[in-house]
């Protein structure tokens, strides 16, 4: 059996969970979210805790998966998931207009990113913050924004996650100075 899946999920204070059919509905101070689960998994609510059990033998991977999905929903409605991105480069700018994020990334036109429902953008200096109750959507939006201008390997200019380390390459001039790298004898 899945070790993680066997552990009961305690519901934090200020958050409620309800099971109806094959759906767990989680409500909290930051919003609400629902998680659908298959018939191969049984979820019970007892003593302010959710217990996930496998019905079919050998399906412990689903037990652990749905436990983690519900745990992510409980955390999200309680305190929100966030991702931070950094703009590195001269002239790269970001601004929030309503629910949209407008990026100036050196293209001939500004790039407009529309926020799905439940996602909020914040901008300060060269940092972009993405917050929401659904961990999957927050990560997906952050990856889409990063993909607009990924960091290039020579100078590191582009959009990167905060704390991400960009491995930089040597340029042609730096290789030529070494002598051995050029193949000279």
92 & 43 share domain: no
Q: Average pLDDT for consecutive 10-residue bins of the chain (185 residues)?
A: 77 92 93 91 90 78 88 93 95 93 93 93 95 95 96 93 92 72 52
Burial classification of residue 184, based on how many CB atoms lie within 10 Å of its CB (0-12 exposed, 13-18 middle, 19 or more buried): exposed
Does any domain span residue 174?
Answer: no
Residue among 124, 139, 16 at smallest CA distance from 78: 16
User: Are residues 43 and 105 in contact, defined by beta-carbon separation less than 8 angstroms?
Assistant: no
Does any domain span residue 166?
Answer: no
pLDDT given at position 84: 97
pLDDT given at position 180: 55
152 & 87 share domain: yes
112 & 70 share domain: no
71 & 135 share domain: no
Residues 152 and 160: their CA atoms lie apart, in Å, by 10
CATH number of the domain bearing residue 53: 3.90.930.12
pLDDT given at position 175: 72
29 & 87 share domain: no
Which helix or strand (DSSP H or E) is residue 74 part of?
A: helix 60-79
7 & 35 share domain: yes
pLDDT given at position 78: 92
Phi, psi angle pair for 157, to nearest 5°? -75, 140
Residue 68: which domain range? Answer: 3-79
pLDDT given at position 179: 54
Residues 33 and 23: their CA atoms lie apart, in Å, by 10
Angle between helix 135-148 and 60-79 (nearest 10): 80
């Amino acid at each position: 059996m899945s070790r993680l899946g066997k552990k009961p999920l305690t519901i934090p204070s200020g958050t409620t969970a309800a099971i109806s059919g094959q759906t767990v509905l989680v409500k909290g101070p930051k919003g609400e979210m629902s998680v659908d689960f298959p018939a191969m998994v049984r979820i019970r609510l007892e003593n302010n805790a959710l217990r996930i059990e496998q019905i079919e033998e050998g399906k412990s991977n689903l037990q652990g998966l749905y436990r983690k999905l519900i745990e992510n929903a409980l955390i999200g409605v309680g305190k929100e998931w966030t991702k931070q991105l950094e703009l590195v480069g001269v002239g790269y700018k970001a601004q929030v207009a309503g629910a949209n994020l407008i990026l100036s990334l050196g293209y001939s036109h500004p790039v407009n990113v529309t926020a799905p429902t439940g996602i909020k953008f914040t901008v300060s200096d060269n940092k972009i913050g993405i917050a929401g109750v659904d961990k999957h959507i927050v990560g997906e939006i952050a990856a889409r924004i990063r993909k607009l201008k990924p960091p290039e390997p020579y100078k590191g200019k582009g959009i990167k996650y905060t704390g991400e380390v960009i491995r930089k390459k040597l340029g042609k001039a730096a290789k030529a100075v070494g002598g051995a790298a050029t193949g000279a004898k």
